[in-house]
Amino acid sequence: MASRAALQSAKRFSTQVPRSKLRIGLIPADGIGREVIPAARTAIEALGSDIPKPEFTNLLAGFELFTRGGVALPEETVEALRESDCALFGSVSSPSKKVTGYSSPIVALRKILDLYANIRPVVSVADAPGEKSSVDLIVVRENTECLYVKQENLEFTENGKEARATRLITERASHRIGRMAFELALNRPRKHVTIIHKSNVLSVTDGLFRETVRAVPSTANGRYDGVTIAEQLVDSAVYRLFREPHIYDVMVAPNLYGDIISDAAAALVGSLGLVPSVNAGDNFVMGEPVHGSAPDIAGQGIANPIASIRSAALMLRHLGYHQPADRIDKAVDEVLREGQLLTPDLGGKSSTQEVTDAIVKRI
């Protein structure tokens, strides 16, 4: 459950640009994305004049779209995003088996728009306003490389099938995700960065990531002198995440590790349906709930809208609209703290619409 204090640190480096309208692309995509992205839109609209008039554009993408027409990410969607100020992405139902011609649209968008950082705050809501959260960390996931370059091949040998995948780690990507992590840490009370890696086994690729992130302060002319640095092997990091979540502040990791760690961390706060994120670059930001498309509950009206609503707040904060984002987060905190309207993933019986309405009322 992402608190305002944690989300305030996930902000865009550039200053807020004056706008008469805020052009927001909406990409519900698959499954429950079509239920939770409208909830996020409603929360944004509830802010009224606190933000520039929102102008929404509904855009297409996803595996279901691919099954109908053979295209998962239309060029029209990409072009519309280039004309937008920001975007919200729902969820995608990428199959576990290879489907010829299909590639995940969210992975593609991260690369096309150079959204190199996936910022995922994982924070519990305190029992009372002003109290300290028991879990308060941010996973900063490199978003453009690692195994997600999707360079795989299958060979047939005398010993049977052999599958190989290329893992790409570059100094450039490692440096800029490291810089993002240090920038986030600067705006948090603890000012602490933990580098996640497995360089005891992958000494070349993870070794490059580790060394490059560690070297970021040396290129910043003392800017990060107040930030402390630790490192943790990814397997022991997951173990300690459940045993000692309080030791972590900002965790920075290559793409695959960051994906796994942030999903695991969601268990600490009760549900994937609570955890937001933004895909951020230097010129664009796209909010995205951490959860997937949840086909088992899609269309039933019981999906938790909070991760998407939090993602909208995180997106607005990244653009510089801090007070409007605070209004959304405060409203979500109040609903969760009261505990009367909860979706089934949190043990409740409320619908997506009922939770959304309760949050909007408090906004």
Out of 259, 329, 333, 345, the active site residue is: 259
Out of 263, 282, 326, 357, the active site residue is: 263
Our answer to whether residue 148 is catalytic in this structure is yes
Out of 198, 248, 249, 321, the active site residue is: 198
Extended strands (E) in 124-239:
136-142, 146-157, 160-168, 192-197, 228-233
Number of domains forming the structure of the chain: 1
Give, in order, the Cα–Cα distances in Å from 287 to each of 29, 250, 345: 13, 19, 21
pLDDT 10s digit of each residue in the chain, 363 long? Answer: 444 444 444 444 444 556 789 999 999 999 999 999 999 999 999 999 999 999 999 999 999 999 999 999 999 999 999 999 999 999 999 888 889 999 999 999 999 999 999 999 999 998 888 888 889 999 999 999 999 888 889 999 999 999 999 999 999 999 999 999 999 999 999 999 999 999 999 999 999 999 999 999 999 999 999 999 999 999 999 999 999 999 999 999 999 999 999 999 999 999 999 999 999 999 999 999 999 999 999 999 999 999 999 999 999 999 999 999 999 999 999 999 999 999 999 999 999 999 999 999 999
Alpha-helix runs per DSSP H in the chain: 4-7, 33-45, 63-69, 75-82, 105-112, 171-186, 205-215, 234-243, 255-266, 306-318, 322-338, 352-362
- DSSP, collapsed to helix, strand or coil, labels residue 5 as helix
Out of 21, 132, 150, 235, the active site residue is: 235
Structural domain for 109, as ranges: 4-362
What's residue 18's pLDDT?
Answer: 64
What's residue 17's pLDDT?
Answer: 59
Our answer to whether residue 263 is catalytic in this structure is yes
Our answer to whether residue 248 is catalytic in this structure is no
CATH number at residue 31: 3.40.718.10
What's residue 16's pLDDT?
Answer: 52
Our answer to whether residue 235 is catalytic in this structure is yes
